[in-house]
Structure 1
Amino acid sequence: MSIESGLAAHFKTPDGCSRPGVSWLVRIEHGGHTYHARVKALMANDASRATRRDESYQANATLQYLSTLLDSGWHPAQDLEHTIDVGNPPGAPMLPWWKFW
């Protein structure tokens, strides 16, 4: 499984709001065939500035999401609309928004 491309943008959500995120195109080699899945990874409201800038972390969260789906029995030939929320990594310090230092 590998990332082929990503498009950073603001995406409309079902409630009508717009949220920043990346639409990732992922190539999946499964059972001797090659498939593609598009995953919209939206930034969680409390995502830190560092998380929002860390494209590697966002891409890895996307790959982990698809890997978990595959492990649970999903087949890449099944057409699904994939949308995930990307929050801060475990153990990331949570500073109050008003602290500048």
Structure 2
Amino acid sequence: MSDDGWMFRVTDAFHAHFHVDDGPSQPGIEWAIGMKNGETELQVWVRGLFAEDMSEEIRADHQYQANTCIGFLADQLGEGWEPQGGEQFMIVIANPT
């Protein structure tokens, strides 16, 4: 997937329960996403928290979760984000609609 020449790839990921400011810890996966555009290579992190009603099938579908995180980054690029590397994002991953 690319947006304005950016290419994405998962470079690392880990499962955990993450602290959130407004409630109890939540399960999810933190994804390290490599981004490349020409000679520019960066890495950013997207913490994908699982929606409370996420199905077991989707909890086990790491490809769907990674694609959701990459899609989020592509959307950010489309809205004018200019990545510098090292940015950290947190999103909630829900069941597909």
Asked if Structure 1 and Structure 2 have the same fold, meaning a TM-score greater than 0.5 normalized by the shorter chain, the answer is: yes
**Which residue matches 1:9?**
16
Sort the Cα spacing of 1:4 and 1:78 in 2 relative to 1 into closer, same or farther, 3 A: closer
Structure 2 segments unaligned to the other structure (5+ residues): 1-7
Query: Which of the two has greater strand per residue?
Result: 2
With CA pairs under 8 Å and 6+ residues apart, which has the higher RCO, 1 or 2? 2
- Of 55, 70, 76, the residue aligned with 2:83 is 76
SS in structure 1 opposite 2:58? Answer: helix
Quote how far apart the aligned CAs of 1:81 are: 2.9
- Structure 1: which 5+ residue stretches go unaligned? 91-101
Shift of 1:31: 5.1
The corresponding residue for 1:35 is 42
SS in 1 for 2:64: helix
Identity of aligned residues (%): 32
CA RMSD of aligned residues (A): 1.4
What letter corresponds to residue 49 of structure 1 in structure 2?
E
Q: Which runs of 4+ in 1 moved over 6 A?
A: none
2:27 counterpart (9, 12, 20) = 20
Task: Give the alignment's TM-score, normalised by structure 1.
Answer: 0.82
Q: Which residue of 2 aligns with 1:47?
A: 54
TM-score of the aligned structures, taking structure 2 as reference length = 0.86
Residue of structure 2 equivalent to 1:97: none
Residues 26 and 36 of structure 1 are in contact (CA less than 8 Å); yes or no, is this contact kept in structure 2?
Answer: yes
